[in-house]
Amino acid sequence: MFLTSALFIPSKDQPAVISWHIFDGPRTCLIICVAETPHSRLAILPHTRAKRKSLPLGLWWYNSRVMKKQPSFHVGLNAHLLSRQSGYRSAGIHNYIQQLIQHLPDADAHLRMTVLAGHHRHTASDAVKWRASRWPTERPWARIAWEQLAQPWALYRAGVQLLHAMAFVSPLMSPVPTVITIHDLSFLRFPDRFRPPQRLYLSTMTRLSCRRARRVICVSQATADETVQLLGIPRARIDVVPHGVQHARFCPLPTEQVERFRSVKGLPQRFILFVGTLEPRKNLTTLVEAFHQSKLFRQGVKLVIAGGKGWYYQQVFQRVEALNLTDDVIFPGFVPDADLPLWYNTATLFVYPSIYEGFGMPLLEAMACGTPVIGSDVSCMPEVVEQAGFLVPPHSPSILAEHMARLLTEDDLRMELGQRGQVRAGAFTWEATARNTVNSYRHALTI
């Protein structure tokens, strides 16, 4: 029989914990922890390998009283991606971070949050504290350096118990347990479509971060399956937490408001809309080819491809010119988030022919607005759309052209799919996303 002990020195907001581990042969282990907490001064916790030694009845009663209380728990959130200008790849992640910060406080009254962000000013509250960094983290190299070098010290000073790395990467030397959100694994599935430095950073650091994380949040079941297959993360450590949609914003709008927006933007009465990053995996050359094959442009229908320029986007413009569609395909550029509901409401049809997605938020937003959608039948998109829209093979322009022409000519079908989409979108809320995220936190902390 022998005794070991350990003293954990507290940070500003963490309790001091002294633990004694008493080992009596290979069969029995008794752990006694004395902790200074807001609710108690003593907690005695038994642990047994095979056969537990009994404790006095009074101590069991005391322990049960202590453990019934639910003290607050303190989570740090890395929100430094908000420092970047919202565009291309960061657009969806920006929205995810902002919505979680907004909805997490209402998901659990015991949750305290410290948001680690850039130098921009933010509104704090009793449940949410902001810690701004002077590092210029709007620049990728500075943000990467801050995450690995400065973030561990920031976490220690903030006194958090858990870090939520909200986009792929956590510090490799984190002083606290971590939860990681994986939005997609396109950099592993399609490495040739990323610039080498970006591909190397994401593939290496995401893999290492996930292996060290206590919980891994995936935004769809398809992403969770790939996290198991490509990163080797045990399925038991993965939580599938889908995104939500802001139903107060993404909904059918009054006709007068829609027509006013159409007039201001100079949009035709009928047009097909795409919203997303201009990058290879969005499969926009197939969309342009399908639009050409449908001959809808001869009926005055336009194709609007809205989104910020990502990488390797030049081939989209080249294909438009090669097919003589310069006057029929409109590129309005990056669409501000505030204008998205108006774009969806004004469009006759929303098409999203991506070959790979982590979640497919534009499909969900368009459905919430009552706009009929066509998506690809791969990756996570069947999870989002189900029976509320058309799903087509991503590499078949002829099939896509057929479905676009059908929806542009059959009014009843278009209306039916619009109604189905609204019902389906109602199943996704940010309140549910926040609650399920808190469940991951509690699981990581075993609260």
pLDDT in tens, the chain (447 residues): 433 434 444 444 444 443 433 333 333 343 334 343 333 333 334 444 344 444 455 544 444 443 445 578 999 999 888 865 554 445 678 889 999 999 999 999 999 999 998 876 566 667 788 888 888 877 888 888 989 999 999 999 999 999 999 999 999 999 999 999 999 998 999 888 778 888 899 999 999 999 999 999 999 999 999 999 999 999 999 999 999 999 999 999 999 999 999 999 999 999 999 999 898 889 999 999 999 999 999 999 999 999 988 778 899 999 999 999 999 999 999 888 899 999 999 999 999 999 999 999 999 999 999 999 999 999 999 999 999 999 999 999 999 999 999 999 999 999 999 999 999 999 999 999 999 999 999 999 985
Q: Are 174 and 148 in contact (CB under 8 A)?
A: no
What CATH architecture is 255-425? 3-Layer(aba) Sandwich (3.40)
- Classify residue 247 as exposed, middle or buried by CB count within 10 Å of its CB (0-12, 13-18, 19+): middle
Please state whether 222 falls in left (phi above 0), alpha (psi between -120 and 50) or beta. Answer: alpha
Query: Contact at 8 Å (CB) between 97 and 81?
Result: yes
Domain ranges of the chain: 2-68, 73-244+430-445, 255-425
* Closest residue by Cα to residue 47 from 22, 17, 15: 22
The DSSP code sequence of 188-229 is: HHSGGGS-HHHHHHHHHHHHHHHHH-SEEEESSHHHHHHHHH
Q: How remote is the C-alpha of 240 from its chain's centroid?
A: 11
- Does the fold of domain 255-425 match that of domain 73-244+430-445? yes
Phi, psi (degrees; rounded to nearest 5) at 15: -75, 155
Counted residue by residue, the chain has a size of: 447
What phi and psi, each to the nearest 5 degrees, are found at residue 211?
-65, -30
List of residues 6+ apart from 318 with CB closer than 8 A? none
73-244+430-445 topology per CATH? Rossmann fold (3.40.50)
- What would the pLDDT profile of 114-133 be if each residue is shown by its tens digit? 999 887 656 666 778 888 88
pLDDT of residue 422: 97
- pLDDT of amino acid 336: 87
pLDDT of residue 48: 40
pLDDT of residue 447: 55
CA–CA separation, 416 and 400 (whole Å): 19
Report pLDDT for 84: 57
Residue 17 pLDDT: 40
Contact predicate 380/222, CB 8 Å: yes
Strands 2-8 and 17-24: antiparallel
pTM for the structure as a whole: 0.79
Residue 264 tokens read as 């201001």
Give DSSP secondary structure letters for 356-386. Answer: --SS-HHHHHHHHTT--EEEESSTTHHHHHT
